[in-house]
Structure 1
Amino acid sequence: MKRMTSLIPLAPGVWYLPGAVNSFVVAGSGQTALLIDTGLDDAHARKLLRVLEEAGLTPGGIMNTHSHADHHGGNRLILKRFPDLKVFAPPLEDAVITHPILEPLTLFGARPPRELQSKFLLAPPSPARLAPEPGLSRIGGADVELIEVAGHASLMYAVRVGEVLYAADALFGEDALNKHPLTFCADSGLQKRSAAKLARLEGVRTVLPGHGNPTSDLAGLVAANLAAYERTTAAVLRAVQAGEASIDELLARVCGALGITMTNAGAVVLNRAVVSAHLTELLEGGRLEMKVMDNKLIFSAQA
C-alpha cells in the first residue's frame, strides 16, 4: 500500500509539504498553523489539508509569497473549507491574487487568448490583503520574519523562522535550474541582488527553495542560482551580438543556444518575459541599444 505523504519537519514547529511547489507550514497559537504558499491547484491544497489534519493542525491563515499561479492556486479550496481565513501577500502581489487575470494579461500585453488562461497562468481569485512590511511579524497566529526578495516577481517575500529560511522563488533547487534554463524573472538585476542578499544572512541552518529540496548549504545554493542567472544574461547578450534583432527573434536564438524547445503559448510568453528582463538589465548597463526600425523594436550591441 502506498504510504501517504506527510508534513516533513524542518525544525520544531516548522514543516513543509513537498510538491512541484513546496508549501511551508509554521505553527501558530494553539493547534493552528500558518500556510505559506498553497500550490498550483485543488489537488495540492487537498493534500495539504489532509496532512495538516493528520498532524492535528488547523489553518490559522494563508501567506502567499508572490502572485504566480503555482503559489496561490490552492487558496480557493482551503478558503471553501475555512472561509474566515485571511490571505496575505506583498504589495502588488495582493492585487494579482485578488484579480488573477492580471498575470496572463501582463505577460501577453492584452486580454489573453484561451491558451493563456490555463491554471498555470490563471489561478482562481482569492481575496488577498497586504502582508505586513518586511521584518518580524505575527501572521495567522505565527511569528515569522519577512524578507523582501523581489526580482522573480514584482515583489516577493522570503520567510524566516529561527534557523529555517523558506526562500520562495528567490532561490531554486539545482534540479529546477537545470530543467528550466530560462529562470523566470520580472527584473533580472533585482533577482540577482535578492539572491545575493540571502547569502549574507547569518544563522540559517536549513534553506527550503520554492521548487526543490531543503539544504544546509545556503551559500552553495545562492552560488548555483547566481551562476544560472548570469548564464541567461550572457546568452541574451550573445544573441544580440549575433546581429540586431527583435525580442521574438532573440528569444528563438536564446532558446536554440540553451537547447530549449517551446511547444505551447504559455512557454513562449514566459520565456519572452525572461529575455525582455535581461534585455532591460543590459540596456541599463550600457551594453545594448534599442531602436524602432521597420515598425519593430530592435536591439543591437553597443558600439
Structure 2
Amino acid sequence: MSSSPVTALIALAPGVHYLPGAVNSFVVVGRETDALLIDTGLDDSHARKLLRAVAEAGFTPSGILNTHSHADHHGGNSFILKRFPELKVFAPPMEDAIITHPILEPLTLFGARPPRELQNKFLLAPPSPARLAPEPGLCRIGGADIELIEVAGHASLMYAVRVGEVLYAADALFGPGALSKHPLTFCADSGLQKQSAVKLSELEGIKTVLPGHGDPSDDLAGLVAANLASYERTTDAVLNAVNRGEASIDELLARVCDALGVTMNNAGAVLLNRAVISAHLTELLEDGRVEMKVLGNKLIFGAQA
C-alpha cells in the first residue's frame, strides 16, 4: 500500500517547519503565532494543504516570500491571498516583476506571445502583487527573522533562506531523486548555478538543508557535490554534442536528450530543456570552448577552432 501524502507541517527546528510536496513550502514562525510562508507551491491544491497545515499547527500566515518566480513556487499565492488579502508578497529583484506579471515566464521561454499550449499552470501562474524583498542578509519579513542568501543561476535571481542551523536552499540545490528524474536541471545561467552551489557549501553551522524539491538532508557537502556533478554532466553533454558537428540549438537539444536518455512529450518540456542547452552554451562560449556563427540563416554552434 502506498503511504498517504503528508498534510501536516514537519518541524526541522524550533519555529522552523516545512510542508512536503512536489515543491516544498518552508514555514518560519515569528512573533507569537505569526508564520511566514516561503514558496506556496504550484496551485490551489498545494496552497489549500499549506493553509490547513499552518492552521492545525496553531499558526496564522503573516507574509509570503517567493524565493524565485517559477510557477511551481508561487502558483499558490493567489489562493492564499483570497483568504488573507492583507498579506504582503515579497520576492527578489526581477523575480517580483514576473510574479506580478506571470505571462513573462512563457513569453521569455517562447520568445513571443506564447500559444495556448504554453499557457498552463506549469508555466503561467495566477498573478499576485509582489514587492521587492529586502537585500540579502539578516532581515525580518512577516514578523519572522531570517537570513536571505543570493543564489542566482536556476532563476535570474533567487534567494535561499537560512534560519539558524536550517537552510532552505530553494532550487539552488535539488534532492537526489529530482536530479535523477530531471537530468537537464533547469537554469537561466549555468555558470552562476554552479557558483551558487559552491557558495552554499561554504556556509558553516548548517545541520539541516531542505532543497526546493526533495527531502531534508544533514549532509550539505554531499548534496552540493551531487548537484555540481549533475550540472557538470550537462555541460559535458552539451560540449560533446557540439563536438559531433556544427548544429543549431534544437539539433543540439536532440543530441543531448539522446545522450542523457531524456524523452520530451510536450512543447513546455522542449522549451524548458532548450533553455538549459542555451544556458550551458553561453557558459561554453564564455569559456572559449565553443563558437557561434550564422550559417544558412541559422544560428549555429561548433567546436572552437
Q: 1:184 aligns with which of 171, 183, 186?
A: 186
Any idea what the Cα deviations from partners look like across 1:6-62, whole Å, max 9, x if unmatched? 100000000000000000000011211000000000000000000111001010000
Write out aligned runs for 1:184-263 (5 A): 184-263=186-265
Cα distance in 1, alignment partners of residues 7 and 265 from structure 2:
32
Contact residue 175 and residue 223 of structure 2 kept, 8 A: yes
The DSSP-based 3-state class of the residue aligned with 1:15 is strand
**CA 1:3–1:289: 2 relative to 1, 3 Å:** closer
CA displacement 1:74-104 (0-9 Å, x = unmatched): 0001000000000000000000000000000
Separation in 1, partners of 2:53, 2:292: 52
Which TM-score applies when normalising by structure 2? Answer: 0.98
The amino acid of 2:88's aligned partner reads K
Runs of 4 or more, structure 1, over 6 Å off, are: none
Residues 6, 19 of structure 2: 8 Å contact kept: no
> 1:250-289 to 2 correspondence within 5 Å?
250-289=252-291
Q: Superposed, which structure 2 residues align to 1:4-153 within 5 Å?
A: 5-153=7-155
Supply the distance in 2 between the matched residues of 1:175 and 1:229 (Cα, whole angstroms): 15
Task: For 2:212 and 2:105, locate their aligned partners in 1 and report how far apart those are by CA, in whole Å.
Answer: 19
In 1, Cα distance between equivalents of 2:250 and 2:207 = 42
Structure 1 gap segments, 5+ residues each: none
Would the alpha carbon gap of residues 188 and 3 (structure 1) be closer, same or farther in structure 2, given more than 3 Å must change? closer
Q: 2-side partners of 1:109 and 1:57: how far apart?
A: 42
Please say if residues 36 and 61 of structure 2, whose CA atoms lie closer than 8 Å, have aligned partners that are also in contact. Answer: yes
- Which sections of structure 2, spanning at least 5 residues, go unmatched? none
Q: CA 1:85–1:263 in 2, change beyond 3 Å: closer, same or farther? A: same
- How far apart in 1 are the matches of 2:49 and 2:42? 12
Write the letter of the residue equivalent to 1:12: P
Length-normalised TM-score, structure 1 = 0.99
1:293 equivalent in structure 2:
295
Instruction: Give the secondary structure class of the aligned counterpart of 1:5.
Output: coil
> Does the CA contact (< 8 Å) of 2:92 and 2:159 recur in 1?
yes
**2 CA distance for matches of 1:301 and 1:118?**
37
Secondary structure at the counterpart of residue 281 of structure 1: helix
Q: For the aligned residues, what is the CA RMSD? A: 1.0
Identity, in percent, stands at 82
Residue by residue over 1:207-231, the C-alpha shift from the partner in whole angstroms, topping out at 9 and shown as x without a partner, is 0000000000000000000000000
Q: C-alpha distance in 2, partners of 1:234/1:112?
A: 31
Q: Which range moved further: 4-13 or 268-277?
A: 4-13
Shift of 1:166: 0.0
| AA partner of residue 37 (structure 1) | D
The alpha carbon displacement at 1:4 in A equals: 6.1
Tell me how far apart the structure 1 counterparts of residues 275 and 128 of structure 2 sit (CA, whole Å): 25
1:269 Cα deviation after fit: 0.1
CA distance in 1 between partners of 2:6 and 2:298 (Å): 54
Structure 2 residue matching 1:225: 3-state secondary structure: helix
1:29 aligned partner, one-letter code: R
- Give the letter for the 2:98 counterpart: V
